[in-house]
Structure 1
């Protein structure tokens, strides 16, 4: 039966249909299914995309920028939920996630970098965010492999990290155990009937119906055919290149972010000896090419901070696409089109914001209420547009 001829009296097959099986889509699916709703998730490459490349830093403090106080509160709320979120997830899935909460060290290579960190510290303290200023010697006491040239730094003691690959692997199992149906196809077009989103058409022509549709497709959130103009804010891809190294002996104790002549770099250790080094930030459209320049930049800055990094085993290099919204903050909640909800635009913070996003979207989808912490990030904060069907 065609979309236009569908019997309106027939109930939808599923309560919620989620487009996108990245960390946001999977976490939300698990939370919604745990609330008793039937859920289907559509994605041709579950647990792929940006979350497979991400380093997994849980660092709302170090990512803070001026004018982003609501995003800081959202990030802290999500970071503070991680311990209970991971404990529940690991029990549900029977898989570890590599979660750690041992602080983040930010270090400065030269005096200009140190001045920037000092300004950042004063801003953080004005917002009541705990952070500790350290001398270069104190930084090296925490991380002995740091170069003697490191001038000083900051310690955010409540920050941490998680392994996104393990995290999404655990979410896939937890979703399956909760009864979530996973369809490994590409969602080609949104089905809209009587000015309401009622499902999607897949790339093989099959149609899936649901009472509510959640678009959580990351950088590809604007690619779905049939989206009325203006319903989804423009979400752009932002490329990031990441290098994975492997240490055979203890090398780095905690996630470390550095400023090297104004250029930012981070190194995130895993329990198995892997060191994730990233990340470039490039506005290159949907290009995921790994470049010699990007690789050189990462290794050059990493070597300035930790000279011994050149002795580590090279394991992998990859590139992913972060979803950036017009204001680089997430878009969470009901769209202007009835039946269509959005959870996209998380930019650099998708892994960090997964717990709070999943909880907020579950509340919106199940109860129809918007949690206070998510209220600044609803789609209606952008200039409204006239809704017109797109071919």
Structure 2
């Protein structure tokens, strides 16, 4: 049955919902309060790494299998996805961290120093070895979001920027279904939602070339370096239990930049393009989900935390299946 659907919020969750439901034949209208695309999207503060195996270190077990589905859906959709795997390294004095990480995860192989140098020549001589997660992938957040926006429009979804959540969601012309993907803005309806602050630095370097994400383990400042192409690197790590949306602290900036320098001293000469901080929505168990209310007329898709890009396509398929025939899944609560 074809429905009239309004999707609220044009971050990664809302874009996947609009695209999937438009392709399923529904009449979709996506509303975003910001005038410029992605101006208020917490999605921009992602790496973005599709890393179900590495996320399994701290995430609930079910997210590994769902994350593998998410990677497969991205591979089928996005031609610019970089499928080079990812690396986890540690300094020689912190080899215990690497061993513990290996015991808590699966889907990886152990590389010797020479094998690491073959895959990433600029890391030659830097580390004694690495864990290689061959099936993981990564992408640039701005490029991926723009691609999803363009594909949603191509699928027939109407995208409207600079419009609040009240437009076309109430009154005589209300949509059959409203899918609310507004993150922290939906907290009045989701009282157990909390904010988790994340910070990142965007730099440009012509002195070092990496072809895959590198996660650097350290007892105090574990971080990741994600290549976005054209010499751009996203440096991130911080997970702070805070809903403060302000600018990055000096401490966080020093830790992130110092960690990048520990991965390779050439980053000391990199150009800093931007510091950024955003608040990501999370449920108490850090698992995103779709929550059905009002007999199916309103569905909240929220709690993305660290998993918005990884599980966005899975949540979209979950909602599409529910609307098609009432099917439920691990990420849907009725």
Q: TM (normalized to structure 2)?
A: 0.89
1:335–1:136 Cα change, 3 Å: farther
Deviations 1:236-287 (A, max 9, x none): 2211111111123552121111112342100111221111111311122141
Choose which of 41, 55, 60 in structure 2 pairs with 1:63: 55
1:28 and 2:5 equivalent? no
- What are the within-5 Å matches in structure 2 for residues 152-171 of structure 1? 152-171=129-148
CA distance in 2, matches of 1:207, 1:151: 66
1:132 and 2:109 equivalent? yes
1:144 and 2:121 equivalent? yes
Cα contact 1:40–1:181 (8 A) shared by 2:
yes
Instruction: Please identify the structure whose Cα radius of gyration is greater.
Output: 1
- What are the within-5 Å matches in structure 2 for residues 281-296 of structure 1? 281-296=239-254
Unmatched 5+ residue regions in structure 2?
Answer: none
Cα contact 1:322–1:347 (8 A) shared by 2:
yes
1:379 and 2:333 equivalent? yes
1:39 and 2:28 equivalent? yes
Cα contact 1:288–1:321 (8 A) shared by 2:
no
Unmatched 5+ residue regions in structure 1?
Answer: 1-11, 88-97, 191-198, 381-391
CA distance in 2, matches of 1:262, 1:27: 35
Cα contact 1:17–1:40 (8 A) shared by 2:
yes
Per the alignment, residue 222 of structure 1 pairs with 187
**SS class of match (1:270):** strand
1:67–1:23 Cα change, 3 Å: closer
**SS class of match (2:211):** coil
1:346 and 2:300 equivalent? no
CA distance in 2, matches of 1:284, 1:67: 20
Residue 183 of structure 1 and its aligned partner are, at CA, apart by 2.8
CA distance in 1, matches of 2:163, 2:241: 25
1:207–1:104 Cα change, 3 Å: farther
- What are the within-5 Å matches in structure 2 for residues 194-209 of structure 1? 200=169, 209=174
1:314 and 2:268 equivalent? no
1:120–1:260 Cα change, 3 Å: closer
Per the alignment, residue 258 of structure 1 pairs with 216
Q: TM (normalized to structure 1)?
A: 0.77
Residue 40 of structure 1 and its aligned partner are, at CA, apart by 1.2
CA distance in 2, matches of 1:350, 1:75: 10
Residue 180 of structure 1 and its aligned partner are, at CA, apart by 1.5
CA distance in 2, matches of 1:81, 1:174: 14
Per the alignment, residue 210 of structure 1 pairs with 175
Cα contact 1:18–1:215 (8 A) shared by 2:
yes
CA distance in 2, matches of 1:317, 1:260: 22
Cα contact 1:44–1:185 (8 A) shared by 2:
yes
Cα contact 1:187–1:200 (8 A) shared by 2:
no
Residue 358 of structure 1 and its aligned partner are, at CA, apart by 2.0
CA distance in 2, matches of 1:39, 1:243: 35
Per the alignment, residue 263 of structure 2 pairs with 305
Deviations 1:273-332 (A, max 9, x none): 111111311122141312222111100111112111111222222112221111001112
Per the alignment, residue 120 of structure 1 pairs with 101
- What are the within-5 Å matches in structure 2 for residues 164-203 of structure 1? 164-185=141-162, 187-188=164-165, 200=169
CA distance in 1, matches of 2:150, 2:58: 39
Residue 363 of structure 1 and its aligned partner are, at CA, apart by 1.7
**SS class of match (2:14):** helix
Q: CA RMSD in A?
A: 2.5
**SS class of match (2:175):** strand
Residue 186 of structure 1 and its aligned partner are, at CA, apart by 5.1
CA distance in 2, matches of 1:270, 1:299: 17
Cα contact 1:220–1:235 (8 A) shared by 2:
no
